[in-house]
Structure 1
Amino acid sequence: MASRALGRKVHIYSSKDTTTVLGGLHLTTGMTNANFYFMVEIVFIFDNDYTLSSESGATVQRNDHLLQAGKYFINTAGSLRVNNEPWLFRTISEGDEAPPEEFIHAVRERDFRCVMTGQPALDAAYGIWRGYTATPIFPLSHEQHWVTHGYDSWITIPGARGSISSVQNGMLLRDDISTLFECYDLSINPDDGYKIVSFRGNHGRIAGTHLDKAVLGNPERPVDQVLRWHFRQAVLANVRGEGEPCFDPDF
């Protein structure tokens, strides 16, 4: 499996140990200093205030300026620990892990387009959905984790096979975007205006854009909690340490 660390332009260190890389990320379109701080607070656990500084020693402000390539150092008078929150490995939702038909129909009938690119499924009126996939946000293969952690409380519209198969845990995505979403290369941050964040490149030229208001206005839309869960998982997969395994959908 390919390493997510390959090609990183941003590298994270502790100011108390400037030789050990603690994490990093690819520099992608729309990535700001504030976004970087937000990710740092997912990957690391602090018991005191902290700041980030660049190689020059200058403090990086928590603002909307675009993040620059380079080494960044975490400065804190307290302790710094890497978050050991579990990362759930997932593969493409197919075969035994494919969503039930009820889920697919519900997502299609709600969205009729790729939620992230806005591209309409032009032949949907004829029952043709080629090129589009009803994609679970939380992977159906980890239903036990879903139940154990009480995530069913997030759902207000149960699915035919339980809360995990609810339309509120799915989005219609273009096939290529679906693969990238399930690989955690793309995600949505509901706490930053539903900003689309790319962790590798600018696939579909959607990095740094935001979900359409029409999507957000639908009462059956994906709930913030599952979007937030996916975003945290994407950050842990791509920023923490050397990154998590990146599966090849062809194998």
Structure 2
Amino acid sequence: MPINRSRGRNVHIYDANDPTTVLGGLRLANGVTNANFYSMMDILFVFTGPFFLQDEGDTKIEKDDHPLQPGKYFIVAADPFNVNNEPWLVRTISHATGTRTQTFCDAVRSRDRRCVISGRGVPYADYNEWSGFEAAHIFPLAYEGYWNNNNYGRWITIPPADPTKGSINSVQNGLLLDSSIHQDFDGYYFSVNPDDNYKILFFSIDSRGLSGKYLDQRLLNDPQRPADRLLRWHFRQAVLANMRGAGEPVFEHDFPPGSDIVGDILHGPKAAERMEYELFSRLGAQVELFPAVGRDGVSV
């Protein structure tokens, strides 16, 4: 069964006019400030006028750098607002392999030479040994059709070494990550907020003590650094996946030998989208993934 992202939440969000219906919530990790929480509200909801937050004691929460506290928070707005229906792209653990992504991997490895989240260096990079480190796509390769349809290639200024591989394989859409951190990144368990000095924020248990820290400055100083708009896209997806309603499902990816993978997928939530993603990720199938799309949904 998929993991429930809402389990363990200690921050809960309500409309002040309907204080019994939970609109969303958050597993609070280190580094989340009141100002961060306000920015998350601007992603989760579509407001037609000004709003503010208050706690259970009717105290207004200021948009400042004080740490957010666990508890119930109520949205106070004179004008109507709605939950954002921006699409969330189903994503499971992925690995960039094959000739199509080799130049992508080579470019990301050459630029980073370390996990850019934890800072852990690759011990044998000089010998081209990368065991335990993986080149991760910020925007998943499996959704290249969605990428092309929304012209996200306009965010890329450094095309891949082989332009026939598509702009999605630009080094600007990549990060070198420790393998386990890559899994958390693909699962939207954490993200990087480029609009808050590239702060790393976790939406789940942070066993490594990384939440609240900042992206490696050496990467930010690199002329081939990842595109801010792609980091912003990933952060929005992480907020929606973890905080909207009960949260999006977290899918099993480690199927033991002999498992009925197809059966498990087809009998679970978002079966069609997940099947397409798994076919592309596991088999390299030329499958174009087009989830139900509302608006573009990316702040630029």
In the superposition, the TM-score normalised over structure 1's length comes to: 0.97
Equivalent residue number for residue 19 of structure 1: 20
Shift of 1:248: 2.3
Runs of 4 or more above 3 Å deviation? 94-99
Pairing partner for 2:243 from 239, 244, 248: 239
Counting aligned pairs with the same residue, the percent is 51
SS of corresponding position for 2:22: coil
Pairing partner for 1:201 from 205, 215, 218: 205
In the superposition, the TM-score normalised over structure 2's length comes to: 0.81
SS of corresponding position for 1:187: strand
Task: Report the Cα distance in structure 2 between the residues aligned to 1:216 and 1:147, rounded to whole angstroms.
Answer: 26
SS of corresponding position for 1:45: strand
Task: Report the Cα distance in structure 2 between the residues aligned to 1:245 and 1:153, rounded to whole angstroms.
Answer: 31
List aligned pairs for 1:25-40, cutoff 5 A. 25-40=26-41
Equivalent residue number for residue 121 of structure 2: 120
SS of corresponding position for 2:157: coil
Pairing partner for 1:185 from 179, 185, 189: 189
Determine if contact 1:97/1:140 at 8 Å carries over to the other structure.
Answer: no
Q: What per-residue deviation string (whole Å, max 9, x for no partner) do you get for residues 186-219 of structure 1?
A: 1000000000010012242110001122110101
Equivalent residue number for residue 74 of structure 2: 73
Equivalent residue number for residue 132 of structure 1: 133
Determine if contact 1:33/1:64 at 8 Å carries over to the other structure.
Answer: yes
Determine if contact 1:114/1:172 at 8 Å carries over to the other structure.
Answer: yes
Q: What per-residue deviation string (whole Å, max 9, x for no partner) do you get for residues 91-127 of structure 1?
A: 1223889971111111001100001111100111111
SS of corresponding position for 1:249: coil
Give the counterpart letter for 2:137 in structure 1. Answer: P
Give the counterpart letter for 2:229 in structure 1. Answer: Q
Cα 1:235/1:103, change in 2 over 3 Å: same
Equivalent residue number for residue 144 of structure 2: 143
Q: What per-residue deviation string (whole Å, max 9, x for no partner) do you get for residues 48-67 of structure 1?
A: 11010000110011111111
Count of aligned pairs between the two proteins:
251
Answering whether residue 175 of structure 2 is matched by residue 171 of structure 1, we say yes
SS of corresponding position for 1:116: coil
Task: Report the Cα distance in structure 2 between the residues aligned to 1:105 and 1:180, rounded to whole angstroms.
Answer: 22
Unmatched 5+ stretches in structure 1 = none
Task: Report the Cα distance in structure 1 between the residues aligned to 2:175 and 2:100, rounded to whole angstroms.
Answer: 12
Pairing partner for 2:222 from 210, 218, 223: 218
What is the root-mean-square deviation of aligned Cα atoms in Å?
1.4
SS of corresponding position for 2:73: strand
Unmatched 5+ stretches in structure 2 = 256-300
Task: Report the Cα distance in structure 1 between the residues aligned to 2:136 and 2:181, rounded to whole angstroms.
Answer: 10
Shift of 1:245: 1.1
Give the counterpart letter for 1:228 in structure 2. Answer: R
Determine if contact 2:95/2:136 at 8 Å carries over to the other structure.
Answer: no
Determine if contact 1:21/1:241 at 8 Å carries over to the other structure.
Answer: yes
Determine if contact 2:56/2:72 at 8 Å carries over to the other structure.
Answer: yes
Cα 1:96/1:229, change in 2 over 3 Å: same
Equivalent residue number for residue 283 of structure 2: none
Cα 1:175/1:98, change in 2 over 3 Å: farther
Task: Report the Cα distance in structure 2 between the residues aligned to 1:95 and 1:155, rounded to whole angstroms.
Answer: 19
Equivalent residue number for residue 62 of structure 2: 61
- Of the structure 1 ranges 91-100 and 171-180, higher mean CA displacement relative to structure 2 is found in 91-100
Cα 1:99/1:177, change in 2 over 3 Å: farther
Give the counterpart letter for 1:231 in structure 2. Answer: F
Task: Report the Cα distance in structure 2 between the residues aligned to 1:94 and 1:178, rounded to whole angstroms.
Answer: 9
